[in-house]
Every structure is written in structure tokens, then in C-alpha cells.
Structure 1
Amino acid sequence: MYLHRVAGYGTHNRDLKQWMVTLLSALSLMMVVVTIGLLALFLVFDIQVNSNSGQKSSNQLKDLQETNENLVDEIFIDSALNNRYIKNHVVGLTPEEDDTKADIVMVFQPPATGRRTVGKKTHHSILDQKTRNARALPADVSLVQVKDCGKRAIPLIANRIVSGNPAAKGAWPWQVSLQRSNIHQCGGTLIGNMWVVTAAHCFRTNSNPRQWTLSFGTTINPPLMKRDVRRIIMHERYRPPARDHDIALVQFSPRVTFSDEVRRICLPEPSASFPPNSTVYITGFGALYYGGESQNELREARVQIISNDICKKRHVYGNEIKRGMFCAGFLEGNYDACRGDSGGPLVIRDNKDTWYLIGIVSWGDNCGQKNKPGVYTQVTYYRHWIASKTGL
């Protein structure tokens, strides 16, 4: 079912004044244009889920919901439609005598104009092929759902974080390690239960999703848990060796269940601004000095936002700072991101103790060098791009 409707009205009412007709016509045209420009394709499917018992507890139904969503993720991420698939959500579970019916809404980027009917048939065909051999879905796992973004199980205590210290367990639950052949390459930030945002330059030499995995937790070895990468979306305008548009999205499966140790960060509104000298925090598994090796333990550092006026001075970075970039750190050096921290988060806390992702570790000259602070991809600048690809 396509959830796209445009309300119309008749012009036969002669009592309407001409200026009202003109105004309403203009508004209607604007609605059509905006709707076409922002439209995502919605499809609703009913899936019958085999189970071993009729009546189920609320916890078992929640388990079934997550398992169904993971299954549909895997179906479409591994299909010919993986470039258009965004997400799915179970909107209803109906227990029946021996089965449970799941009503699932799936969101896709719209196909080319005039191909919507073909697209809908393709979606149904893929889903039918993948689910033809129905399998039982387990419902015996106890889940803890934590829906709040940007919340830490460990509160930040004044003066507790000393730059460069190892991070406490669960302190930064959105931190991710991007690995190739089980070796840490870059950091990343969890922004949804199946999405991570990172730097595009992490995939400059290898963007094959099958050769990447994600690791969660405050240590690389042993990891808290791991996930397979299903899709890597690099910004369309990223063109190395240029440093502009250094942002990428990673879709993984199965989805994660949020807990005290794994939780998504909040994303700021596109209009949000963060003044210079604001205290912000960087985390990562990167080297402790230029030329060093990545660390097994997650580390954290407190730095400050540096104004563009200062960062664009000739003795700092000059005209190398482009739109969509900003600096953070200290001009005197010492505390900075380093090799292996690329793609990781720069976060800020609001007055409600909620954390937001405002920067992505992108580049810099050496590590902690005087007048050479870290340069970050500005998340607010790319907020609409993130939403267009993930629905978040």
C-alpha cells in the first residue's frame, strides 16, 4: 500500500473569491512539490510467523517484534534493493492459535519517476522468495529496551574526565570500532539500532562491506559484541585526496538491542549551533602519539570547540577549512584525536544531561601539535543527508 495522498479541492464553488482560489492553488502546488521532493516509499506487508504456542506474554511479543525486524533487514539488505532499503518497523503483532501475524511497514527510497508500480512488484517478489520457506522464530529471549538516545548509565562527574584516560565501562555506549580482518581501522558512532556514522576516508582503499565488521564495547578484545556490515554509503561528493564531505554511513545486521552498554547518540537539529570554547569530548581506540599503534581500551579526552576565525588563520589551517568542517582541541596541542580515531565521535552534553553528536573525527596535522588542532566533519551541516539515507 502506498501511503501517498495529495488532497485536492474543486473550483466549482463560485462563492470563493478569486484571490482565495489563486492562493489555494499555489498552496496546493507547493504541497505537491514538497511531497514529491521528500517522499519515501512506504509498503505494508503482513507476515505470518510460526511459533510453538498461541498465547504469548508482552515480553515474548517484544522479542518477536525485534526478531521480525532483524529478519526483514537481512532480507532486503542482502537483496537487489539494498541501495534503496532504509528500514522497517513492526507496527502490530496479532497472536493467533498457532501463529503470530506481524504487520510490518518498510521504508524505501523512491524509484525513478514512473517506475513505482514496478518497484512495488519487485519488493513483493523479493519478500515472497526470501520467506517462502517459513521458519520458526524464537520468542524466549528476555530483552531490555532503552529508547532514550544520548543517555549514559554512568553520569559525568565534574573534573572526572582527565584528557587521555581510559573510559569506564558503559561511559560512551555509542562508540563503535570499525574493523577489517578483525583489526581496528576506524571509530564510528551508533545513531540507530542498525546505523553507524563514520568518516568516508576510512573506506578510501576498501569499501567492500563484506570485508568489514563492527565491534561494540570499551575493549577491542574481547568485544562486547560484533555485527556484520551490510552496506556502506559514502557521501556522493567525497573525492579524495580532497577532505570535503568526509562522512559515511554503515548499515549492519542484525539490529542491536539498546542497553546500558550499547545505546545510540542523539543527532542535533540542522539549525543547532555550538559556540566556540564549548567543552566537548572525543573518544576512540586510536594511538596515544603520532606514529603509535591503536589501543585495545577505549580512551576519552576533553577538548574545546575552536572558532572558525581562529582555525582559518594562516598559522593554523588557513583556507584548508571548508564548509562542513570545524576545529576542536587546544592551540597549545597535547590533547587531540590521533591515528585510529578517524570516524569517531565528538560529542557535547546539554543541560538535561543528554549527549549529542556534533563532529566526526576527520583530519589534522600529526597529533596534538601546536596550532594544529583536530578537524571534524560538522554533523549539523550533513544532518539532512543523514536523514535522507537512514530515515533518522
Structure 2
Amino acid sequence: MKLLEPWKLALIALGIVLFMALVIGLLVYFLLFDKEIYFYNAAFTFTNIPYGPDLEKQTSKQFRDLSTGIETLVTRTFRDSSLDKKYIRSHVVKMRPDGSNGPRVVAEVVLMFHFASRDNIAALSERVKSLLFRQVQTTMGYLATDPSTFTLSETKKENGEHMLNNCCGMRTSKLPAYTDRVTGGTSAQDGAWPWQASLQLRGSHRCGATLISNTWLVTAAHCFRGQRDPSQWTASFGTVIQPPKSLRYIHNIIIHEQYADNPSNHNNDIALVQLSSPVEFTSEIRKVCLPEASQVFPHNTSCFVTGWGALEDNGECVNNLQQAEVRIIKTDICNREEVYNGVITPGMVCAGYLEGKVDACQGDSGGPLVTADTRQMWYLVGIVSWGDECAKKNKPGVYTRVTYYRDWIATKTGI
């Protein structure tokens, strides 16, 4: 038997490798990339839930509890079905009264699915509707529904995105599998923290801030020491300072009336910034959820602090937004002699680690400390305020406690 020459064998092997690479590439494309997001609007009427004004606010306990129950049930419906791999999520975007039949509650829900181009979209849409209708007809747990009022319709992608963009606390990118340090942090992905803003004095980054509506930011009062003229300030949005996703001039700056413009006094370190014109909410620019004044964030709650501040004490600010995971520390622990020796007041909250290594730093001031609830909605826990250097042992970051000033924010902004 005549053996093939080595160069012919090499060509055959190369051909096999190229063919396998093409097959694998096509498989990867069809499995991962040949998908499009489809949005649906659903409406459920609940007959055993009386409508009240608290259901108008997405951040109220009543709205959060009812939404959790609805979303959990909808998710379970699809997770236990043939659509499990195609279902992404559901989100309650609005509660309204059922005006025609007394004080009943109508919940409007956005559903998201991944369908491939080869899928029969019409048949899948009917499957989505039939699964939900069957659920409504049988049981929705403790929620009594009126099946005759159930509706479901496909909506354009831009309409679905618009509804989600206008909800507070929504993120578009997932956290990385690790975070080691803003001192001790990692660079944030686009859309990871869409409420983060950079406050810039005459074009230079000075502080962070948090978007709480399309026209209002909340930040730290100490950012404006000696510089309270709104015409000197701008706010930029996006994960990088240069070039920004969007830029706005400042119309008004409101400093807390009891804030003392004194470097040694950290009480009432909160300010509000009104933009000259509204921002347009997108997947990369959104508002955070403001907690109710009564909302409690227990000690050891996992939070994230973000900012463009220095990566080490007395370092330079960076252009890419940094993120770091920290945990809430009990006030009595933070007030120990070896920590902050009794200076932590009710309007402050400590977060970080007593061993140091992870912390906010210079340039992060005014930025957000946030945590997610069970619906993965992100709430503003604190505002970067002060600390003894950066990431120092027994010197965790100290933040302005947002719940303590929640009523003050509402008085000034109506939010």
C-alpha cells in the first residue's frame, strides 16, 4: 500500500481542522448569537387586593411585596415548561386600579424571551399566552385573579425597553464573577451602574453623584465647599468620563440647611443637584431606586460602591468607572474606640471591612452605595461621605444614610 506524502497528509489534516472549526463556529453562532429578544405586555386583575395609593410607588413595601409574588409565579410558570430555556424574565412595571369593577388591582407586567430566527414566533407567542392563561385559571397562590380580564400582547422591542428603562434600579449587565477592589475594585461594564454620574467643576471630575429622576441627582454636600455656583458645574453619564455618554449643565444646587461647611464636620453631608434639562433614560442611563424612610438594610448586607476615584490613598482619579463589593457594618462596631470612637451618628452608615483593603477613596465622594432586593432592583443605601484615608484597617468607609434623609429629599424634589 502506497502511503501519502507528508505534505498531502498535512493538507488533509488542515482541511479537517478547518471544517471542524467551521462547524463549531456555526453551532456557537446559532446557539449563542442567533437570538433576538421579544417583549410581551401582560395584565392581571387581582380581586382580593384592594388598591391603595402606596401601590403607585414602585419602591413602597406594598408594591415590592405584590410584585415579588407576581414575578415569582410567572417565572415558575415558564421554568416548569418547554419555554424554560427561552424565558429571560418578567417585571411588574405598574399597578393601577380597575375602575370598572371597584377597588381591584391591575398589574401590568413586561415579559422577555429569547427566540431564534428559525423559531415559529407565532406558535411560541400562542404558547406563552396559553401557559399564562392556564395559570390564571387555576391558581396564583394567595392572589385571586379574574381570568376574563387577563390580556397578553407582543410589543415592539423599543416599547418594551422604554418601559423597563423608566423603572428604577434596573441594570443591563451582570456583575463579574469577582471583584477585588473602588480602592480594591474592578472596571465596570457599560450599563452596570446606569445611575452613576460624574460631577465636574469647570470640566474636571470632582465628585460622584446618583441619578434619582430624569432631572435630579443626589450627592455629598462637601463636594461644593467653596464652589456653589451652578454655572461652574456639569454632570456627565456613562462608565467613562471622557468621552461621556451624555452631558448636562446644572440648574440648581441644594445643600442641606444644617450642613456646616467645615472639613471636620461630617453631619448632614447631602446635597441635591437639579439638571438644566432632563436626561433620556436608556439601557446605560437610568435612575436608582430611593428607599422608603422606614426601609432597613441590616448589617452585613452586601452592597456595591462605585466611582472614578483614586485606586490608592492620594492617588489620581481614573477614567473608567470602578466598582467594589463592601458590607454594611453595625454602627456600634463602627463606634468602637479603635474604629471611629463614637463619631458615627444616626445619619451615617459604615460599609467596608475592618481588615481594610476595599474602600471608596478620594474622587468617589458623593457617589452611590447600592444594594439589590430580591427582585434585583437596586436601592441607594448611602452616599460616599468620609473616612480615615482609603482601605485602612479599622477605618471603613462612612456614608450618608439615605433613609435618614429620605423625607428631606422628598420635600426638596417631590420624589
Range of TM-score over shorter length: 0.5 to 0.7
Which residue among 273, 281, 294 is the counterpart of 2:317? 294
Q: Does 1:391 align with 2:410?
A: no
Deviation, 1:319, is 1.9
Aligned to 1:368: 391
Aligned to 2:224: 203
Aligned to 1:178: 199
1:259 counterpart SS class: coil
Q: Distance in 1 between matches of 2:395 and 2:180?
A: 21
1:152 counterpart SS class: coil
Q: Distance in 2 between matches of 1:191 and 1:228?
A: 16
Aligned to 2:170: 151
Runs of 4+ in 1 over 4 A off after TM superposition: none
TM-score (norm 2): 0.59
Deviation, 1:266, is 0.2
1:292 counterpart SS class: coil
5+ residue gaps, structure 1, are 1-141
Q: Does 1:308 align with 2:331?
A: yes
Q: Distance in 2 between matches of 1:173 and 1:162?
A: 21
Aligned to 1:24: none
Aligned to 2:376: 353
Q: Distance in 1 between matches of 2:395 and 2:225?
A: 23
Aligned to 1:41: none
TM-score (norm 1): 0.62
CA contact (8 A) 2:328 2:352 kept: yes
2:408 counterpart SS class: helix
Aligned to 1:119: none
Which residue among 316, 323, 339 is the counterpart of 2:362? 339
Q: Distance in 2 between matches of 1:320 and 1:359?
A: 17
AA matched with 2:279: V
1:388 counterpart SS class: helix
Q: Distance in 1 between matches of 2:348 and 2:261?
A: 15
Q: Distance in 2 between matches of 1:371 and 1:227?
A: 39
Aligned to 1:42: none
Q: Distance in 2 between matches of 1:276 and 1:240?
A: 30
CA contact (8 A) 2:270 2:400 kept: yes
Q: Distance in 2 between matches of 1:258 and 1:162?
A: 30
Q: Distance in 2 between matches of 1:149 and 1:346?
A: 15
AA matched with 2:205: H
Q: Distance in 1 between matches of 2:296 and 2:175?
A: 22
Q: Distance in 2 between matches of 1:330 and 1:184?
A: 27
Aligned to 2:351: 328
Q: How does 1:23-62 map to 2 (within 5 A)?
A: none
Aligned to 2:257: 236
AA matched with 1:169: D
Q: Deviations over 1:267-307 (max 9, x none)?
A: 00100111111110000000001110111110000010000
AA matched with 2:209: G
Q: Deviations over 1:132-173 (max 9, x none)?
A: xxxxxxxxxx9963211000011346x344431000011000
Deviation, 1:246, is 0.1
Deviation, 1:205, is 1.4
Deviation, 1:372, is 0.3
Q: Distance in 1 between matches of 2:175 and 2:204?
A: 30
1:387 counterpart SS class: helix
RMSD, aligned α-carbons: 1.3
Q: Distance in 2 between matches of 1:349 and 1:381?
A: 19
Q: Distance in 2 between matches of 1:329 and 1:205?
A: 30
CA contact (8 A) 2:180 2:358 kept: no
Asked which structure has the greater CA Rg, the reply is 2
CA contact (8 A) 2:191 2:284 kept: yes
Q: Deviations over 1:49-73 (max 9, x none)?
A: xxxxxxxxxxxxxxxxxxxxxxxxx
Q: Distance in 2 between matches of 1:380 and 1:301?
A: 22
5+ residue gaps, structure 2, are 1-157
Deviation, 1:323, is 2.0
Q: Does 1:220 align with 2:241?
A: yes
